Amino acid sequence: MTGVGENYFSAYAVFLKATTPEVGLMAALPPLLASFAQMFAVLLGQLTGLRKEIIVAGAMIQILALLLIAWLPGYFPDWSFPLLLLSVILYFAGPNLGAPLWSSLMGAVVPESVRGRFFARRTRLSSIASFSALLGAGATLQMFDLAGYTLYGFVTIFSIGMLARAYSCWQLGQLYDPPRAGRQAPAHERDGVPGWKTLRENPHFLRFSLFFASMQFAVAISGPFVVVYLLRDLHFSYIELTLNTAASVLMQFLVLSRWGRLSDLFGNRIILRVTGYGIPVIPVLWVLSPDFFYLLFVQMMSGLVWSGYSLSTSNFLFDLTPPQKRAGLMAFHNIFGSVAVFLGASFGSFLAVKLPVSIEISGYLWTWGSVFYGLFLSSALLRLCIGLLFLPRIEEVRAVRNMTYHGLIFRVTRFSPVSGVIFEIISRARSQRPGKRRRRRGKSLSSAKPDGDSSAAPDDKNPD
pLDDT in tens, the chain (464 residues): 988 988 899 899 989 988 888 988 888 889 888 888 888 888 887 777 788 899 999 999 999 999 999 988 878 888 989 999 999 999 999 988 888 888 888 888 888 778 878 888 888 888 888 889 989 999 999 999 999 999 999 999 999 999 999 999 999 999 888 765 445 555 555 555 666 676 777 778 888 999 999 999 999 999 889 989 999 889 999 899 989 988 988 888 888 878 878 777 777 888 888 899 999 999 999 999 999 999 999 999 999 999 889 888 888 888 887 777 777 788 888 888 989 999 999 999 899 888 877 776 666 667 777 889 989 999 999 999 999 999 988 877 766 677 666 666 666 666 444 444 444 444 444 555 444 444 433 333 333 332 333 333 334 444 44
Please report the pLDDT score of residue 250 as a whole number: 86
Q: What is the largest CA-CA distance in the chain?
A: 76
Please report the pLDDT score of residue 255 as a whole number: 83
Please report the pLDDT score of residue 438 as a whole number: 41
Nearest to 268 by CA among 110, 438, 115, 447: 115
Q: Which helix (H) or strand (E) holds 149?
A: none
- In 110-149, which ranges are continuous DSSP H helix? 115-146
Q: By the 8 A CB rule, do 219 and 275 touch? A: no
Dihedral sign from CA coordinates of 335, 338, 344, 346? negative
Q: How many beta carbons lie within 10 A of that of residue 439, not counting itself?
A: 9
Please report the pLDDT score of residue 411 as a whole number: 67
Residues 173 and 165: their CA atoms lie apart, in Å, by 12
Q: Which fold has domain 6-190+201-357+366-433?
A: Growth Hormone; Chain: A; (1.20.1250)
Phi-psi region of 111 (alpha: psi -120 to 50; beta: other; left: phi over 0): beta
Nearest to 457 by CA among 309, 325, 348, 320: 309
What is the distance, to the nearest Å, from the Cα of residue 278 to the centroid of all Cα atoms in its chain? 16
Please report the pLDDT score of residue 414 as a whole number: 60
What DSSP character marks residue 188? G
Residues 461 and 108: their CA atoms lie apart, in Å, by 17
Please report the pLDDT score of residue 221 as a whole number: 94
Please report the pLDDT score of residue 59 as a whole number: 94
Q: Could you state, in order of their start, the residue ranges of all structural domains in the chain?
A: 6-190+201-357+366-433
The helix/strand/coil state of 358 is: strand
Which residues, at least 6 apart from 69, have a Cβ–Cβ distance to it below 8 Å? 5, 9, 12, 84, 87, 88, 91, 158
Half-sphere exposure (CA, 13 Å, Cβ side) for 95?
22
Please report the pLDDT score of residue 83 as a whole number: 93
pTM over 0.85: no
Q: How many beta carbons lie within 10 A of that of residue 294, not counting itself?
A: 13
Please report the pLDDT score of residue 353 as a whole number: 84
